[in-house]
Amino acid sequence: MAFPTETVYGLGADALNISAVTRLYRVKERPLNHPLIVHISNFDNLDFWIDKRTELVNKLLVNFTPGPLTIIFKKNSNLKIGYLTGNQDKVAIRIPRHPMSQILLAEFENQGGRGVVAPSANKFGKVSNTEPKGIFEDFQSELLPGDVVLDGGSCEIGIESTILDCSSTIPKLLRFGAISQDDIQNTIGEPIEVVQKQTPETMIRFSGMFSKHYSPKAKVVINGKPQSGDGYIGLVSEPVPAEVVILFQPKDSIEFAQILYSSFRRADQLALKRVFVSVPESGKLAEAIKDRVLRASNEE
């Protein structure tokens, strides 16, 4: 079942059902060693999955969940869940706040479920879906009777959750999102590390860390000079280059994040060859926007 979260749509499967998880990897065309995020409805259900909860993690949970934060823990050593963690001893957990995901997860847990793995509902390496219609396009040939896409309209945030690895003493920020480094540091009262570069070994583990990711077919160019017929996304306050195809002119960085992926998708529908993105320098989510546009712009 695909379902909306406040960040992007997720493609959900019962985290404890190996054949469901295997089908998920297959339809997403995702390498098997890329771990998935387990989604739960609230932190009462966390201890089933993890080794232990520290004071620091409790502060994060109280302040940021439900919401766009994924936390990585040492997994509960009794669980045999290598098929969803890429055989690591760590597990990623997220508690989304979108009302539909909240109801779905709570009802699933009421019926005895423990958690739902949900990667973004798109083919591996491509643009995430922030609206339901692209999900049908991406997975058309894979859909079986009984598969469901829950329609929650457009996602509120538009960019994937912040990922924070709390499995060792100093937390590490692995993916930028709506919850910023400052938000986290102010809450826990200590500095965190930001993982900028991955070694070849860890690159395999973190799909969002691949240098090329989130990419439309069109070539993405950052802050360059577009020519006639090129696509363009830039804040409404900025001067529009001549003769471009305006994909969107968001009013601020928040709206920029909301429309980024759907604008990339529209560029492909219009068969544009290139999309020029003028990224916002400051404002909420500016760092996350820059990160995603940069990865989308990279060559293989």
Q: Which residues bind ligand TXA (CB under 6 A)?
A: 5, 7-8, 10, 34-37, 70, 72, 85, 88, 90-92, 94, 96, 118-120, 160-161, 163, 205-208
Nearer to ligand TXA, 42 or 88 (CB): 88
The least CB distance from residue 273 to ligand TXA, in Å, is 27
Closest chain position to Mg ion (CB): 120
Nearer to ligand TXA, 72 or 259 (CB): 72
The DSSP H or E segment spanning 182 is helix 181-188
The least CB distance from residue 31 to ligand TXA, in Å, is 10
Contacts of 205 (CB under 8 A, 6+ apart): 33, 34, 35, 86, 88
The CA distance from 48 to 71, in Å, is 15
The least CB distance from residue 11 to Mg ion, in Å, is 10
The least CB distance from residue 152 to ligand TXA, in Å, is 12
Q: How many residues lie near Mg ion (CB under 5 A)?
A: 1
The CA distance from 179 to 68, in Å, is 7
What, of ligand TXA, Mg ion, none, does residue 95 touch, CB below 5 to 8 Å by kind?
A: none
What, of ligand TXA, Mg ion, none, does residue 289 touch, CB below 5 to 8 Å by kind?
A: none
The least CB distance from residue 34 to ligand TXA, in Å, is 5
Nearer to ligand TXA, 85 or 262 (CB): 85
Q: What sign does the CA torsion over 154, 155, 157, 163 have?
A: negative
DSSP 94-138: E----HHHHHHHHHHHHTT---EE--BSS-TTBPPPSSSHHHHHH
Nearer to ligand TXA, 35 or 234 (CB): 35
5 makes contact with Mg ion (CB under 5 A): no
What, of Mg ion, ligand TXA, none, does residue 10 touch, CB below 5 to 8 Å by kind?
A: ligand TXA
The CA distance from 292 to 213, in Å, is 8
Query: What does the CA dihedral 133, 287, 215, 165 come to, rounded to 10 degrees?
Result: -90
Nearer to Mg ion, 11 or 81 (CB): 11
The least CB distance from residue 35 to ligand TXA, in Å, is 3
Contacts of 69 (CB under 8 A, 6+ apart): 60, 94, 161, 162, 164, 177, 179
Nearer to Mg ion, 43 or 90 (CB): 90
> What single letter denotes the amino acid at residue 265?
R
What, of ligand TXA, Mg ion, none, does residue 34 touch, CB below 5 to 8 Å by kind?
A: ligand TXA
Are residues 157 and 69 in contact, defined by beta-carbon separation less than 8 angstroms? no
DSSP 10-51: EE-EETT-HHHHHHHHHHHT--TTS--EEE-SSGGGSTTTBS
Nearer to Mg ion, 74 or 290 (CB): 290
Nearer to Mg ion, 61 or 178 (CB): 178
The least CB distance from residue 213 to ligand TXA, in Å, is 8
The least CB distance from residue 86 to Mg ion, in Å, is 14
Contacts of 52 (CB under 8 A, 6+ apart): 74
Strand pairing category for 162-165 and 231-233: unpaired
Residues 115-144 that bind Mg ion (CB under 5 A): 120
Residues that bind Mg ion (CB under 5 A): 120
